[in-house]
Amino acid sequence: MANGSVEEVLGASSKWSDPLGLPDLVPDPNYVQASTYVQRAHLYSLRCAAEEKCLASTAYAPEATDYDLRVLLRFPQRVKNQGTADFLPNRPRHTWEWHSCHQHYHSMDEFSHYDLLDAATGKKVAEGHKASFCLEDSTCDFGNLKRYACTSHTQGLSPGCYDTYNADIDCQWIDITDVQPGNYILKVHVNPKYIVLESDFTNNVVRCNIHYTGRYVSTTNCKIVQYAHEDVSQAMGTT
């Protein structure tokens, strides 16, 4: 699928149908906006995150020390499957990776992608994403039962359920140590490479306005924005 054109993969309307149903992931913009904050942490306290490549490249420089401070833009994420079928990891179960630092199996290489963009130019100024993910039903709407947990046997996201990542967990951030104060856009993109087929890809991106003072952030106007064809092409490597 990743080698096809945008139209081949998404179709003219980016809507799909399947007699057995399809998942439909939707990130919650209000959840992101409610609890975004800046944290400063020494590298020695971020060793697990460093193993998963969740820090900016300067954290891995030869001159970096355990006592260097990293500046992290932390934010929560909650993703709902509002489709009619389970969202399942694209990797076979025997390839899931055990992460001893975090004590769970990661079943998907990139469930979400986080970017920080310059508000004026749209240029990336920082990037943060989890190296891999563990999928589970954290909570469900009334009438829906949790069926997936973060284990070696079953991972996924059921219809009517949410996968929730609190702002205080490892890698739920963008490393902004090298970012200057200013106005930015936080972009959260779920299923960013469209590896798992969904019924609708137009509701996978949340954008928020970020004002960074150098010490604090204010987060406003978080909302779902429809994908642009150039974004899809870039994600799929067709440009």
Residue 181's φ and ψ, nearest 5 degrees, are -55, 145
Q: Which residue has the higher pLDDT, 78 or 135?
A: 78
DSSP for 185-233?
EEEEEESTT--S--SB-TT-EEEEEEEE-SS-EEEEEEEEE---HHHHH
Contact of 204 with 171, CB cutoff 8 Å: no
Q: Tell me the average pLDDT across 132-160.
A: 87
Band of pLDDT at residue 82, cut at 50, 70 and 90: very high
Q: What is the pLDDT of residues 200-230, one digit of tens each?
A: 999 999 999 999 999 999 999 999 998 655 5
**pLDDT 10s digits, 165-176:** 999 998 899 999
User: What is the C-alpha to C-alpha distance for residues 208 and 221, in angstroms, rounded to an integer?
Assistant: 6
Cα separation of 210 and 149, whole Å? Answer: 33
Domain ranges of the chain: 25-236
| pLDDT tens readout for residues 106-115 | 657 778 999 9
